[in-house]
Amino acid sequence: MIMLTEQAGVRMKEMLKAEETPNFGLRVYVEGGGCSGYQYGMAFEEAAGEEDLVFQQQGVTLFVDPYSQPMLAGTQIDYSDDLQHAGFSIKNPNAKSTCGCGSSFST
């Protein structure tokens, strides 16, 4: 479904620990909006919804709702922290085009 790189997994676990929520999971979702039609979202949540796909990557539990699942299939989430960029990046093979900032896409 979604692949977290090792760097993204390490950073997610650091963030969960810093928030004192080490047992929470990461919700990854798509919603309408952004300059290209859809935008990505990520949020820490305590539990999955009834219809969520739940799986583990790099020691992090991920939750994906049924609406977002087809648009996120095969997506990779990475994290980098260098002079050019610090933060998460999303590589989605289902995106036909993306905006300049990389946070929204169209299918």
Rounded to two decimals, the pTM is 0.85
Domain 2-106: CATH superfamily is: HesB-like domain (2.60.300.12)
pLDDT tens, per residue, the chain with 107 residues: 899 999 999 999 999 999 999 899 999 999 887 666 788 899 999 999 999 999 999 999 999 999 999 999 999 999 998 888 889 989 999 887 676 555 566 66
Could you give the strand order of the β-sheet that contains 53-57, starting from the edge strand earlier in sequence?
53-57, 60-64, 25-32, 38-45, 104-106, 97-98
Tokens 């991920």 found at: 62
The domain locations on the chain are 2-106
